[in-house]
Amino acid sequence: MTTILIVDDHPIVREGLTNLIDTVEGMSVVAQASNGHDAVNQALSHRPDVVLMDLNMPDGSGIDATEEISWRCPECKVLVLTMSEDNESIDDALRAGARGYLLKGASQKEIIRAIETVAAGGALFSSAIADQVLHQLNESRTSPPAPTKLPQLTRREHEILALLAEGSRNHTIAQALGISTKTVANHLSTIFTKLKVEDRTHAIIIAREAGLGRPTDN
């Protein structure tokens, strides 16, 4: 029996996926979660074979939950099911440990096939983003190793924190990384939570103590 945890902040989506999966012989939904924090708790409690993970949720993002589940419960294989098809989301999901990435426009057959593939130890990505995934994987082969300082942060969070430590403002960070200022602000909020600080000043202090960034010259 393949056990599945469904993570999505919309009850209708969770129920629809549950109804679909429960009609498939050999599959069973063992739990649901509406946010990233609950997803981690449910994964550790139920140890499902597959975690069907949305990315954009309140109270703990799907990327952070994927990373923590992949680390604390490596037997739980994360399959992303999301509306997000931008390069940053794909890159962050892969780096966090996702074994598959589907868009919410996928058919029921595609979702079931993806669950079967990921549960069996394979990887499966939506045909709509296959080229992007291959590009990200090819880039990762030539990328430097992930930072080891402040290991609770993702690679993207390290990049943002390093720029913050150099004195960069949100719009400058956004331009440097090719993302929106809103995305930078969301990442900074997550960084502050992980570092247990309340503002930029304290985050910069921790970053510089860890050797990230450098103060700008006055």
- Residue 80 counted as domain residue: yes
The side-by-side arrangement of strands in the sheet containing 100-103 is: 27-33, 2-7, 50-53, 77-82, 100-103, 124-125
State pLDDT tens for residues 92-117.
888 888 999 999 988 999 999 999 99
62 and 117 in one domain? yes
CATH of the domain at 100: 3.40.50.2300
Identify the pLDDT of residue 217: 44
- Residue 146 counted as domain residue: no
Average pLDDT over residues 178-204: 87
Query: How many domains would you assign to the chain?
Result: 2
- Residue 198 counted as domain residue: yes
Domain extent, residue 103, equals 2-140
3-state helix, strand, coil in the chain (%, to 5): 55, 15, 35
8 and 109 in one domain? yes
Identify the pLDDT of residue 105: 87
Identify the pLDDT of residue 61: 82
Identify the pLDDT of residue 133: 63
Residue 214 has pLDDT above 80, yes or no: no
**Residue percentage of the chain with pLDDT more than 90:** 47
Average pLDDT over residues 193-199: 89
Q: Are 119 and 92 in contact (CB under 8 A)?
A: no
203 and 180 in one domain? yes
- Residue 148 counted as domain residue: no
Whether this prediction's pTM lies above 0.85 is answered by no
State pLDDT tens for residues 11-61.
999 999 999 999 999 999 999 999 998 999 999 999 999 999 999 887 778
Average pLDDT over residues 194-215: 85
Exposed, middle or buried by CB within 10 Å (0-12, 13-18, 19+), for 199? exposed
Average pLDDT over residues 158-177: 89
